[in-house]
Amino acid sequence: MQKVKKHKNIYLSGGGNESQSFSLDKLFFDKIPKNGNYLYIPIALRGHKLFPTANEWMGHIIKLHNRTDLNFITLNDLNNYNLDNLLEFDAIYIGGGNTWNLMSEINTSGFSKLLIEYIDRGGSIYGGSAGAIILGDQINTHNDPNDIKYVSHDGLGKINGYSVACHYNDEQSEQFKNWSIDNKLPIICLPEETGLVIDDETALCVGTKPCTIFLDDGSCVQHEPNQKFGI
């Protein structure tokens, strides 16, 4: 079993393509040791035309970051893993897609409990778009179609009481100000060119645009790229 340090090591991406998330992705891949291994979970794309090519896409990404020394396993069935299996991986990458579908599969399979334990033991985890949203307190922060009629708004709750919104733009400021007041929760809003690296109670804004946070009273705080702040 891999020995991991007990501190949070979370990467949140606001979404977009590999060029938009390049800076955050580089920090994530640079953190994985030479010849390391990680788990790639693309199931939020299930049913989408891109789902069959997810494994190929990830292969392209590690070449883009000159990390072809890395080994990854693409996991499409969450029922076949336990905690010991997860702790063998240096990192876990949860890709984007439909947030409702992703949260449903993770909860129904019981994989949510494994992810929480993995994070609590200091495992490195990357969430892209939907993968980032589910790590927060509440997941009703997006416009994904809920064809499966998933009811719960609960996320994994691993970002110190914050929720996450991705693909954010300034025109949505009033929407998320009201969301924070209505839900009585702070929310981190990430544009597609922006991400966060969270280490325990410290966050680093990464990318080209500021990270916007609405506190639970609706007040707004912005953090510029390369700025660290408490979270």
- Say if pTM beats, i.e. exceeds, 0.85: yes
Give residue 4's pLDDT. Answer: 43
More confidently predicted of 184 and 7:
184
Please give the Cα distance from 89 to 82 (Å, whole number): 12
Encoding tokens for residue 73? Answer: 């396993």
Residue 6 is predicted with a pLDDT of 55
Fold classification of 9-160+192-204 (topology level): Rossmann fold (3.40.50)
Instruction: Give strand pairing partners of 195.
Output: 13, 206
Which pLDDT value is given to residue 7?
66
pLDDT tens for 42-56 read: 999 999 999 999 999
Q: What is the mean pLDDT of residues 122-131?
A: 97
Write the DSSP string, 21-58. Answer: THHHHHHHHHHSPTT-EEEEE-GGGTTSTTGGGHHHHH
Distances, alpha carbon 175 to alpha carbons 100, 138, 154, 170, in Å: 20, 15, 20, 10
Distance CA 22, CA 13 (A): 10
Please check whether residue 126 is in contact with residue 26, taking contact to mean a CB–CB distance below 8 angstroms: no
Task: Yes or no: say if 27 and 67 are a contact pair by the CB < 8 Å rule.
Answer: no
Question: In the structure, what pLDDT confidence band is assigned to residue 2 with cuts at 50, 70 and 90?
Answer: very low
Q: Would you place residue 37 in the very low, low, confident or very high pLDDT band (cuts 50, 70, 90)?
A: very high
pLDDT of residue 80: 83
